[in-house]
Amino acid sequence: MANSDNSITIERIHAAYSAVRVLDDVSLTVGSGETVVLLGTNGNGKSTLMKCIMGMVRPYQGLIRARIDGQTHDLIGMTTEEIVDLGIAMVPEGRRLFPRQTVEENLLLGASRRLARARIKDNLDFCFELFPRLAERKNQLAGSMSGGEQQMLALARALMASPRILLIDEPSVGLAPVLVTRTIDAIKQLKEHYNLTVLMAEQNFTQAIRIADRGYVIVHGRIAFAGGSAEELNNNELIREFYLGL
């Protein structure tokens, strides 16, 4: 696979919802093959940042570039569909499945990217291998699955688009601790299998840091700290105060 160079560069973006400023001068990079975590408690701008990358919110200043298979693209101004077609997929916060469609139907809906259509069978096989529960329940309605199963399905659906870069918005939210562990482990596995570049938003510091190469802390729409390694994040004062209660 020619997917050795897939990265994101965000430079000094500002974003707002009408008059309410939400992102203030945010710069962030995700290097090829890295897993980068965006840490922050509720309402600090994590989802907005991801939506900016996906073309769902348009920053009024700054730039967002992606390199996909070695080619550079300016994402600002592109539609979400065009961005997905490039090879960037997002697992949205709260899963956003189609509850009245079956597991398999939800997966097939993820394969909308042109390039992914040719790989439907292989991708489906891998999803069912990685998440045997989904195979067992492929004819069950998505809305009747447990929270953990729905998160697995949301991850699997994003993989059906054969992405190079995967954005995952708060995968742990609403899950029991054992399922959080399983979900984070699954992200590590699928990242390795597909050689993905991953940006993950999380509030669960301890879990996120198990698989992150490095990360950023976002507070009130500004990058408050950029940690060059998991260890640097672990030793950071903001993290110790907000997340670890030290």
Show the tokens assigned to 9: 């560069």
Shortest spacing between CB 9 and ligand ADP, in angstroms: 20
- Assess contact for 223 and 27: CB atoms under 8 A: yes
Contact partner at residue 227 from ligand ADP, Mg ion, none, CB < 5 to 8 Å by partner kind: none
Residue number, 48 or 204, with CB nearest to ligand ADP = 48
Helix (H) or strand (E) holding 185: helix 177-194
> 16, exposed or middle or buried, with CB in 10 Å at 0-12, 13-18, 19+?
middle
Task: Provide the greatest CA pair distance for the chain.
Answer: 51
Shortest spacing between CB 159 and ligand ADP, in angstroms: 23
Q: State the Cα–Cα distance between residues 108 and 120, nearest whole angstrom.
A: 8
Contact partner at residue 42 from Mg ion, ligand ADP, none, CB < 5 to 8 Å by partner kind: ligand ADP
Pick the binder of Mg ion from 7, 47, 150, 204 (CB under 5 A): 47
Helix (H) or strand (E) holding 61: strand 61-68
Residue number, 24 or 213, with CB nearest to ligand ADP = 24
Shortest spacing between CB 139 and ligand ADP, in angstroms: 34
Query: What is the number of the residue whose Cβ is closest to Mg ion?
Result: 47
Residue number, 8 or 160, with CB nearest to ligand ADP = 8
Q: Give the residues lining the site for ligand ADP (CB under 6 A).
A: 17, 20, 22, 40, 42-48
Q: Give the dihedral sign, CA 57/97/90/40.
A: positive
Pairing type for strands 7-17 and 61-68 reads antiparallel
Shortest spacing between CB 56 and Mg ion, in angstroms: 12
Shortest spacing between CB 97 and Mg ion, in angstroms: 17
48 belongs to the binding site for Mg ion (CB under 5 A): no
- Assess contact for 64 and 76: CB atoms under 8 A: yes
Pick the binder of Mg ion from 93, 104, 149, 202 (CB under 5 A): 93
- Assess contact for 202 and 215: CB atoms under 8 A: no
202 belongs to the binding site for Mg ion (CB under 5 A): no
The DSSP letter of residue 165 is E
Contacts with Mg ion: how many residues (CB under 5 A)?
3
197 belongs to the binding site for Mg ion (CB under 5 A): no
Residues in contact with Mg ion by the rule CB under 5 A: 46-47, 93
